[in-house]
Structure 1
Amino acid sequence: MYEEIKSRLRGSIAPVITPFDDKMEVDVKAIENLVNWHIESGSHGISVCGTTGEPSSLTIEERELVMETAIKAAKARVPVAPGTGSANQKETLHLTKRAQEMGADAALVIVPYYNKPNQQALYNHFKTVADAVDIPLIVYNIPGRTATNLEVKTLARLAEDCENIIGVKESNKDFEHVNRVLLNCGRDFLLYSGIELLCYPMLAIGGAGHISATANITPKEVADIYNLWVEGDVDKALDLHYKLMPLNDVLFKETNPGPLKAAMGMMGKINPALRPPMGPPSEPLEKELRETLQSYGLIDQKIQS
């Protein structure tokens, strides 16, 4: 039933930031511009309202606005898989149903954060969401943010019992864990890297692609890691992996998306505003970000120095 969308949901699914205007309101026009830029740059899909999109700083109505704006802007050119999860099951159900109504191709549903449910409770939560919708679901496992790791055996139960749970975004530095995902869930299960330095390695074990925040800075290059791998040009893909490493490193020296938004502001892509309690990166990191962007030719040294 979901084979067609599974074949399309591969490559670089760009986790688009949520831009705010000078009044700290969601900047709809900026979202439209970013979606178009990503698609023109070769991103294979779009996601909004994931970690990089500051969903915990948005109201439910704003999350709906961001999702709807992205889906309409994409115009079915690439799949759109918005983040619809929260720590509240009622909110998760509402947002996932709304994503389906809006025409999203899939939904990215995070492991509930702060609550720290046990494995059976996690199974029950995702099973409840899966049973409530027909839209394909990608589970989002990010233990560093949620304080809970979705164990492989729990994910495998969900993959077996819920036809519409088609994949997982693993922002998990435990590479043994991600290997066991495909061993236990089947190699046709969609496995995405949410860790920048694991985007290339995860392709080597059978991953479907990546959902990397760095795509907000270099969408073409992040997409090309996947393209080159699929084309069999392993050496060039590996070269690109290492070329992007310094950029990946600096973007995560402080909490995402603070450095990312600052960098995009330097590039003239957005107003780099973050909603409190998030704040801009430290002055030393801003300097390092500027120097890094200059070294990649992403900003003009004479103008920015």
Structure 2
Amino acid sequence: MQSFVGTGVALVTPFKKDFSVDTEALVRIVNFVIDGGVEYLVVLGTTGEPATLTNDEKELVIKTIVDANKGRLPLVLGVGGNNTAQVVEELKTRDFSDFSAILSVSPYYNKPTQEGIYQHFSAIAKASPVPVILYNVPGRTASNVLPSTVIRLANEFKNIIAIKEAAGDIVQAMKLIQTKPKDFLVISGDDMVTLPMVLAGGAGVISVIGEGFPRQFSDMVRLGLERKVDEAYELHYQIADSIDMIFEQGNPAGIKEVHKALGLSENTVRLPLVSVNQDLSDRIKAFTKNSLTAVTV
């Protein structure tokens, strides 16, 4: 589980202007974040736009990242959905030899009860050949995984090792940290509250902004874990404005604009998402240009 202490990044799927998957850009992004000092990579999370990828494209993204990583960092694969049986079937049939864990989002749209959420993740835990990181993001799923449900799962299934907590509620996060089993990891899913969560006892973050400014953000998380509070907050405030900007008009449109400014990829997203408007684009470009991490790639 120490593999998932620190900064993980939720990788985008870069597209060319014709909306096809840009594998060369994806390799550049993988190398960029690894060189920036992050601890692990998350493949086909929400930021990777898997909802608009075909099965063949998903396999292409996975192969490209695995090949580019060359075993340097642990990889986490997004495997989740609102059809429990379908998720279980994927867990039973997919080759996970290149992955250290899965990230599994709470069921969306169906709006299950807490018991339904428990039973969903219970089935996943029983089927998964690798450790499971739960993902709570009520803003996308329309249901909140309560701390009591998380702790119940963590206590009953040893292969449920962590939660990516993205409810945007620091009090809920602190309740998780207070009541969790000793080795269970509470990982921030909100870039802006990552440092407070780490200082409260969290294990780090699965980040979006860390894919644009990996050196600064991963250094901030490490300083927080080392309890070097002033130094950590200095870095936090250096990049705080960029966190607001990349989510202002939706994810991953914002972070793809950062990647374009860095020369890593185009800023193309697939419908129903659209690229950021010109005003936000100009502000992101200006911030990136002034950032210490803005280098020509």
Deviation at 1:89, TM superposition (A): 2.4
Deviation string 1:171-195 (CA, Å, 9 cap, x unpaired) is: 1111111111122222421111111
Aligned equivalents of 1:151 and 1:187: distance in 2?
A: 19
1:150 alignment partner in structure 2: 145
Aligned equivalents of 2:175 and 2:227: distance in 1?
A: 24
Instruction: Point out 4+ residue stretches in structure 1 off by more than 3 angstroms.
Output: 94-100, 297-300
| Equivalent of 1:243 in 223, 229, 238 | 238
Aligned equivalents of 2:90 and 2:220: distance in 1?
A: 32
| Equivalent of 1:26 in 21, 24, 30 | 21
Deviation at 1:297, TM superposition (A): 5.2
Query: Would the aligned equivalents of 1:20 and 1:274 in 2 still touch at CA under 8 Å?
Result: yes
1:40 is the counterpart of 2:21? no
Return 228-237 or 279-288, whichever deviates more. 228-237
1:229 is the counterpart of 2:224? yes
Deviation string 1:123-150 (CA, Å, 9 cap, x unpaired) is: 1111111101220010010001111101
Deviation at 1:223, TM superposition (A): 0.7
1:261 is the counterpart of 2:224? no
Deviation at 1:270, TM superposition (A): 0.6
Identity of aligned residues (%): 33
| SS of match in other structure, 1:31 | helix
Q: Any residues of structure 2 matched to 1:84-103 within 5 Å, and which?
A: 84-97=79-92, 100-103=95-98
Query: Would the aligned equivalents of 1:261 and 1:273 in 2 still touch at CA under 8 Å?
Result: yes
Query: Would the aligned equivalents of 1:14 and 1:45 in 2 still touch at CA under 8 Å?
Result: yes
| Equivalent of 2:61 in 55, 66, 84 | 66
Aligned equivalents of 2:24 and 2:195: distance in 1?
A: 33
1:169 alignment partner in structure 2: 164
In structure 2, relative to structure 1, the CA distance for the partners of 1:154 and 1:100 (3 Å cut) is: farther
1:137 is the counterpart of 2:127? no
Q: Any residues of structure 2 matched to 1:95-134 within 5 Å, and which?
A: 95-97=90-92, 100-134=95-129
Query: Would the aligned equivalents of 1:96 and 1:107 in 2 still touch at CA under 8 Å?
Result: no
Aligned equivalents of 1:230 and 1:183: distance in 2?
A: 17
Query: Would the aligned equivalents of 1:22 and 1:271 in 2 still touch at CA under 8 Å?
Result: yes
Query: Would the aligned equivalents of 1:41 and 1:220 in 2 still touch at CA under 8 Å?
Result: yes
Aligned equivalents of 1:67 and 1:94: distance in 2?
A: 18
AA in 2 matched with 1:31: L
In structure 2, relative to structure 1, the CA distance for the partners of 1:139 and 1:100 (3 Å cut) is: farther
Q: Any residues of structure 2 matched to 1:285-296 within 5 Å, and which?
A: 285-296=280-291
Deviation at 1:208, TM superposition (A): 0.9
| SS of match in other structure, 1:167 | strand
Aligned equivalents of 1:99 and 1:262: distance in 2?
A: 33
- Structure 2: gaps spanning 5 or more residues: none
Query: Would the aligned equivalents of 1:84 and 1:99 in 2 still touch at CA under 8 Å?
Result: no
| SS of match in other structure, 2:80 | coil
Q: Provide the aligned C-alpha RMSD in A.
A: 1.9
1:3 alignment partner in structure 2: none
In structure 2, relative to structure 1, the CA distance for the partners of 1:136 and 1:217 (3 Å cut) is: same
In structure 2, relative to structure 1, the CA distance for the partners of 1:228 and 1:272 (3 Å cut) is: same
1:277 alignment partner in structure 2: 272
AA in 1 matched with 2:208: A
- Structure 1: gaps spanning 5 or more residues: 1-5
| Equivalent of 1:181 in 164, 172, 176 | 176
**Given the two structures, how large is their TM-score scaled by the length of structure 2?**
0.93
Return 259-268 or 191-200, whichever deviates more. 259-268
Matched residue pairs, number? 296
Aligned equivalents of 1:290 and 1:138: distance in 2?
A: 34
In structure 2, relative to structure 1, the CA distance for the partners of 1:134 and 1:13 (3 Å cut) is: same
In structure 2, relative to structure 1, the CA distance for the partners of 1:298 and 1:184 (3 Å cut) is: closer
AA in 1 matched with 2:163: V
